[in-house]
Chain A
Amino acid sequence: MIDVRLHGARGAFVLNAVFSVPADGITVVRGSSGSGKTSLLRAIAGLEHMIGHVRINSEPWQDGKVFVPPHRRHAGYVFQEASLFAHLDVRGNLDYARKRAPASADFDGVVADLDIARLLDRSVHDLSGGERQRVAVARALMATPKLLLMDEPLSSLDRAARDGILPLIRRLGQKLPVLYVTHDPTEAKALADRVLRMDNGQVTPENLSNGLEGLSQVEIERLALAALRSGLSPRPE
């Protein structure tokens, strides 16, 4: 489970996030800009310090006095702008992550998944926006993260580039848990196994028509099994 209870104030803005979602698939955090999505993601990563706890599969990243510094959390983070290291080429950027990873990454696999083999020896200055973001995702994966945090990674891209990357991210969700922040309903719909809504710093699970759309396949199966066992109809109230 991804178990989060975070509370923090940035000036007049107050963030209050309490949620617990399964550590699998893609959890989309949806909200308008200024709703606190980025602050939430940064606090989970440990880049910002808020009060509360963050536990990933019962491993505490933050709990009471415990505050694991970001470089020991092994969370992948994809920023809104690719934020590649300008002094390294594409391969250098990937190797930077690989050298520091707790486990050995499947270099060729990741390169193939994100279709960046032909970019490896290029300078990061010669990449298009879409290529940069693909390299940024690949770099995050080379660090073999336990959880991938993505902060509107497609928002600065044009439609074509966005459509090219969406299916790649969709597939990532089958390999590791992803927390994906966006304001875009289309992206949310294309990616989400479940959706959390963020409004004015408050997090609520999104209510959808049949009550199942926000849940992952595993959760739906679990609900269905439980319902069948107790002899009820498989539709939760």
Chain B
Amino acid sequence: MTGWEVLLDKAVWLTAQLAAVTTLCLLVIATPIAWWLSRGRSLFKDVIAAIVALPIVLPPTVLGFYLLVALGPNSPLMVLLQPFGVRTLAFSFTGLVIGSIIYSLPFAVQPIRNAFEAMGKRPLEAAAMLGASPLDRFFTVALPLARRGFITAALLVFAHTVGEFGVVLMIGGAIPGKTQVISIRIFELVEQLDYTSAHRLAGGLMVFAFVVLLALLMIDRSQGRKVDA
């Protein structure tokens, strides 16, 4: 494989697609959860926060196993979807997206929640006193002020999805072009003793991970400089 062939490799393309779709879905899903968790505390909220954080501590194979059961044929969830002509989501791209969303949920919720908590309630109160309704002040004050939290969440989710292995292997199998992502492709290349190709993909991932982490650190630094107005 030459450099261009690496870029055009089906696994690379599929991984990028999966990470992009997962990131977009998660930003939408995580925002209301993060907002709700950031407003006050209660036992119920702690329980939900713990459930959201579960994927951090669970082995990906455990998560993948339950997802495989939930998305497989005749599971209660799939029975609900049968009238729409869906029998199973296991070993499909949609299944991978669902798995990735759950797997990366804490990495999206936490930075956004931190950003909402860091701004405090004062800017929202100021906006209320200027005549902004709750929805209005969420979109015109809370979201823009939490911008860095969203960027951090997007970077973390994208990178985390690119790096996942256990969950995608369990619910996706390794169907080339359909569910075979980079991390699994590398595993197979090594099994076939094709070290040269494995090196190219693995090296690419190393560079990618380094760039993402560097970007996160730089965002963190500029956040530290921010003055309270």
Contact = CB atoms under 8 A, between A and B. Distances in A.
A206 B157 CA distance: 60
Interface string A59-88: 000000000011110111101011111110
Contacts of B213: none
Nearest to B225: A125
Contact of B129 (A84, A125, A132, A143): A143
Interface stretch (A5-13, A96-104, A191-199): A96-104
Interface string B112-134: 00000000001101111111111
A218 B136 CA distance: 40
A16 B50 CA distance: 41
A28 interface: no
B228 A96 contact: no
Q: How large is the interface on A (under 10, 10 to 19, 20 to 34, 35 or more residues)?
A: 20 to 34
B144 to A, nearest CB: 4
Nearest to A124: B229
A231 B39 CA distance: 62
Given A85-B141, A87-B147, A96 B226 contact: no
A76 B129 contact: yes
Chain B contact residues, majority secondary structure: helix
A138 B132 CA distance: 17
Given A47-B125, A124-B229, A97 B147 contact: no
A45 interface: yes
A82 B126 CA distance: 9
A226 B226 CA distance: 59
Contact of B126 (A74, A77, A87): A77
A147 B140 CA distance: 24
Contact of A87 (B125, B132, B145): B145
B17 to A, nearest CB: 32
Contacts of A82: 229
B1 interface: no
B123 A83 contact: yes
